[in-house]
């Protein structure tokens, strides 16, 4: 059973006993001629299975068969439990069948293990059937049985059904235990929020069930995921002060939540408290700190935690190395990332798909094509097939490093190593090609898609249309739109926004009417971006009447224009010398919460300079400086030219003299 992202097993130290010693005793019995009997084997197999050492228990089971020792229900149940935890539901059923064929009658524990395995695999209906069968045979389910069923419903989000089984438990005189309530608290936090989860917690207390460290984990984890980290801290302190013995897993949950909420000081404070209480941190705790420091870009500090981790006798694991490799690659420090990869291998820690994906993408981003290709080949040779995520990350990395020459080659290489060609793969490739204006190659890829029987979707055509618009091939963009309709692919508002953006960039916004008619014909509604494109486009064409009409329609529908939209309108009025209207728009944008940029001020300062109004120019320059902006060189040059006209020399000198003192 999981609580707050941690497993009960994570808290076990040597609860399962010294299994190595038990095995040695078995060998010693052989040497002494005292053949192990069925009790010996059953005890050892049960212990190994409970310790998660299923392979070892299966090996002993084989030895038990070879010696003709009879199996009993304890062994069958232990194996079923281990198989269920591995998600091997069919094997659990087979094991039960073997037990029945040996004339063994399942007991309550056997049925509970079966129900738990079915619930974990999502077979809730079948689990309920097993529960009915159990009751038909007069075997009474207990709190553990019901908790397994409740856990199954919670994982599906069926909280009403889970609560119904809790009520059935109470009606039968079976008291829900801390596991039952912990499962319900987790579920209510996830699907119904804090208030509903706390109601379950208070019900638990009213039923006389005391909170333990697992419940604390559920509450803290639920609160942090609901954005209530301050309340999680308060509850943690309250529980800690009430005499409840919290462990390093509880601290890890809280510290991780504090880091993710950006509360670094408190995270380190609780880390210090953990050490002071001699709750020696494990690898997970160190990984949380290392991950946070890496996210903050503090690689050196993360490295010092790695050193401290080793000094504490803890071995870094895959997660530790992957975290640091991601950090180095993000900063472009691929040499350090590769050193960590070699260190992993020397420590007998096998890199996984995350390791390879991160390094290959990082190397391509850095332009180290040969090293990236070598690692990609190594990744494939050790048995990791590229996934759609690998494909996307690698192609995006090639794009960012502008190594356009290798994009198609790398795509082909991954396709030849077993990567399944689907719509996602092709859309990724098309996006990268179109982003760089490689529309001819993109068209070839589209034909290849169609030839392979893969139907393009809306994203496919939107990508191609955008590529043509970016390359100023507007007519080709509309031809692609026509092909989209011919292929019976439905356009969305993004399709039309892209076409409108292309017309606006090409100075053809006057043709927008046909696109708007298509939007209306297909029952789509213009969105914020649609209006931004239209207002900006008409503003750049100095069509103030249409630009302002659309602006009024836009704000009337509750849309907030972007600063670039306001800049286009202000610029249009400025060019016409209508500075009063331009200034009014400047005031209105700020009232609506849209903050002006340097560009906005440059437009207004240049406009007032054109009218040789030194008072307004000084006012805007002062406002500009207070907001931390500086006029561009072009604006300064414009001021000089405007106020250097005959009769304006004195005003020009005064403006320039006071420019940085206004």
Rounded CA-CA distance 116/82 in Å is 11
Report whether pLDDT(477) > 90: yes
DSSP 28-78: HHHHTT----HHHHHHHHHHHHHTT-HHHHHHHHHHHHHTTPPP-HHHHHH
pLDDT at position 654 over 70: no
**Residue 15, pLDDT above cutoff 50:** no
Average pLDDT over residues 99-124: 89
What are the tokens at 440? 């001819």
For the segment 32-53, the average pLDDT, to the nearest whole number, is 69
For residue 645, give the DSSP letter: S
The span from the CA of 82 to the CA of 92, in Å, is: 9
pLDDT bin (cut points 50, 70, 90) of residue 35 is low
Q: Pick from 274, 255, 271, 252: which is nearest to 263 by CA?
A: 255
Summarize pLDDT for 410-452 with one digit per residue, the tens: 888 888 877 888 899 999 999 999 988 889 999 999 998 988 8
pLDDT score, position 84: 85
**360-388 mean pLDDT:** 86
Using the predicted structure, report yes or no on whether residue 298 has a pLDDT greater than 50: yes
Average pLDDT estimate for 191-196? 88
pTM: 0.63
Tell me what pLDDT residue 338 has. 94
Average pLDDT over residues 462-475: 94
pLDDT in tens, 253-279: 888 888 888 888 888 898 888 888 887
Query: ∠ at Cα 185 (220, 130), nearest 5°?
Result: 140
Dihedral of CA 646/647/648/653: which sign? positive
Q: Which of 36-40, 195-199, 222-226, 245-249 has the lowest mean pLDDT?
A: 36-40
Read off the pLDDT of residues 545-570 as tens digits, 9 standing for 90 and up.
899 999 999 999 999 999 999 999 99
Q: Report d(CA 195, CA 189) in Å as an integer.
A: 8
C-alpha distance from residue 569 to each of 96, 526, 563, 579, 617 (Å): 76, 20, 10, 11, 19
More confident residue, 605 or 64: 605
Amino acid 193: pLDDT: 85
Secondary structure element (H or E) that encloses residue 306, with its range: helix 299-311
Question: Is 191 exposed, middle or buried, given 0-12, 13-18 or 19+ CB atoms closer than 10 A?
Answer: middle
Closest to 533 in 3D by CA, of 514, 554, 558: 554
Give the mean pLDDT of 74-98. Answer: 85
Copy the structure tokens of residue 372.
């990236």
Write 474-479 long-range contacts (CB < 8 A, 24+). 474/502, 474/503, 474/506, 474/508, 476/439, 477/502
pLDDT for 373 equals: 87
Of the two residues 43 and 597, the one the predictor is more confident about is: 597
- Dig out the tokens for 88 from the structure: 């091997």
- Torsion on CA atoms 119, 121, 125, 131, rounded to nearest 10: -40
Rounded average pLDDT over 477-506: 94
312: DSSP letter: T
* Pair of tokens at residue 373: 């290709």
User: Bigger pLDDT: 58 or 335?
Assistant: 335
Under 8 Å between Cβ of 419 and 452: no
Taking alpha carbons only, the member of 515, 520, 454 closest to residue 487 is 454
Give me the pLDDT at residue 578, please: 92
Whether the pLDDT of residue 50 is over 70: the answer is: no
Residue 378, pLDDT > 60, answer yes
pLDDT at residue 8 above 70? no
Cα 539 to chain center, whole Å?
40
Is it the case that residue 643 has pLDDT exceeding 80? no
The Cα 639–Cα 632 span in angstroms is 11
Q: Is there a contact between 72 and 42 (Cβ–Cβ < 8 Å)?
A: yes
DSSP-based three-state secondary structure for 644: coil
Burial class (CB in 10 A: 0-12, 13-18, 19+), 317: middle
The tokens for 16 are 């399962």
| Average pLDDT of the chain to the nearest whole number | 85
7 pairs with which residues across the strands?
2
Contact in structure between 651 and 643 (CB atoms under 8 Å) = yes
Of the pLDDT bands very low, low, confident and very high (cuts 50, 70, 90), residue 311 is confident
Instruction: Give mean pLDDT, residues 9-35.
Output: 56
Mean pLDDT for 578-593 is 93
> Model confidence at 12, in pLDDT bands (50, 70, 90)?
very low
Beta bridge partners of 6: 3
Identify the weakest region by mean pLDDT among 399-408, 508-517, 521-530, 632-641.
399-408
The SS3 assignment for 530 reads helix
- What is the CA angle 626-632-633, rounded to 5? 135
pLDDT reading at 347 higher than 80: yes
Q: How confident is the model at residue 586 (pLDDT cuts 50, 70, 90)?
A: very high
Rounded CA separation 432/439 (Å):
10
DSSP string, 236-256: HHHHHHTT----HHHHHHHHH
Percent of the chain with pLDDT over 70: 89
Which DSSP symbol is given to 405? G
* DSSP reduced 3-state for 7: strand
* pLDDT at site 276: 82
Lowest mean pLDDT segment, chosen from 13-22, 44-53, 64-73: 13-22
Rounded Cα–Cα distance for residues 433 and 452 (Å):
19
């Amino acid at each position: 059973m999981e609580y707050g992202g941690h497993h009960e097993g994570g808290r076990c130290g040597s609860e399962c006993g010294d299994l190595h010693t038990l095995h040695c005793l078995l060998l010693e019995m052989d040497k002494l001629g005292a053949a192990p009997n069925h009790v010996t084997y059953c005890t050892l197999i049960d212990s190994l299975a409970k310790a998660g050492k299923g392979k070892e228990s299966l090996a002993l089971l084989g030895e038990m068969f070879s010696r003709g020792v009879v199996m009993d229900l304890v062994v069958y149940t232990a194996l079923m439990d281990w198989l269920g935890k591995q998600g091997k539901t069919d094997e659990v059923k087979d094991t039960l069948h073997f037990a029945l064929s040996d004339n063994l009658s399942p007991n309550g524990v056997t049925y509970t293990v079966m129900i738990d395995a079915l619930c974990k695999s999502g077979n809730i209906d079948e689990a309920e059937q097993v529960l009915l069968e159990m009751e038909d045979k007069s075997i009474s389910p207990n709190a553990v049985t019901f908790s397994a069923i409740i856990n199954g419903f919670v994982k599906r989000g069926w909280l009403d059904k889970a609560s119904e089984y809790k009520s059935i438990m109470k009606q039968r005189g079976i008291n829900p235990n801390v596991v039952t309530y912990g499962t319900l608290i987790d579920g209510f936090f996830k699907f119904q929020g804090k208030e509903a989860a706390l109601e379950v917690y208070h019900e638990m207390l009213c039923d006389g069930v005391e909170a333990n460290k697992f419940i604390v984990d559920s509450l803290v984890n639920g609160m942090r995921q609901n954005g209530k980290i301050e309340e999680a801290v308060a509850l943690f302190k309250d529980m800690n002060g009430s005499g409840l013995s919290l462990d390093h897993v509880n601290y890890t949950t809280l510290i991780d939540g504090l880091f993710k909420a950006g509360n670094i000081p408190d995270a380190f404070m609780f880390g210090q408290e953990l050490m002071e209480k001699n709750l020696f941190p494990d690898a997970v705790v160190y990984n949380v700190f290392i991950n946070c420091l890496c996210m903050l870009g503090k690689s050196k500090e993360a490295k010092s935690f790695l050193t401290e981790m080793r000094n504490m006798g803890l071995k870094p694991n895959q997660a530790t190395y992957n975290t640091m490799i991601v950090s180095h690659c993000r900063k472009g420090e691929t040499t350090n990332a590769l050193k960590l990869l070699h260190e992993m291998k020397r420590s007998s820690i096998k890199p996984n798909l995350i390791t390879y994906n991160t390094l290959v993408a990082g190397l391509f981003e850095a332009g180290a094509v040969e090293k990236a290709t070598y690692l990609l080949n190594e990744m494939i040779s050790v048995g990791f097939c590229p996934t759609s995520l690998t494909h996307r990350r690698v192609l995006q990395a090639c794009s960012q490093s502008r190594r356009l020459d290798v994009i198609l080659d790398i795509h082909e290489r991954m396709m030849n190593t077993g990567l399944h060609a689907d719509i996602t793969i092709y859309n990724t490739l098309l996006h990268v090609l179109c982003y760089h204006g490689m529309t001819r190659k993109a068209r070839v890829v589209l034909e290849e898609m169609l030839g392979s029987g893969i139907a393009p979707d809306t994203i496919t055509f939107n990508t191609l249309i955008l590529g043509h618009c970016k390359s100023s091939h507007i007519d080709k963009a509309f031809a692609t739109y026509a092909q989209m309709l011919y292929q019976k692919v439905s356009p969305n508002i993004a399709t039309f926004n892209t076409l409108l953006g292309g017309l606006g960039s090409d100075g053809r916004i006057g043709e927008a009417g046909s696109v708007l008619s298509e939007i209306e014909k297909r029952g789509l509604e213009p969105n914020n971006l649609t209006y931004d494109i239209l207002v900006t486009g008409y503003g750049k064409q100095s069509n103030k009447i249409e630009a302002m009409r659309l602006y009024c329609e836009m704000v009337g529908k509750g849309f907030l224009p972007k600063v670039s939209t306001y800049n286009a309108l202000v610029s249009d009025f400025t060019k016409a010398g209508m500075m009063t209207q331009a200034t009014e728009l400047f005031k209105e944008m700020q009232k609506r919460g849209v903050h002006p940029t340097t560009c906005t001020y440059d437009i207004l300062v240049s406009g007032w300079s054109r009218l040789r109004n030194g008072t307004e120019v000084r006012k805007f320059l002062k406002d500009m400086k207070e907001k931390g902006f500086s006029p561009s060189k072009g604006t300064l040059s414009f001021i000089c030219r405007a106020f250097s006209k005959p009769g304006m020399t004195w005003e020009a000198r005064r403006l320039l003299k006071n420019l940085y003192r206004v």
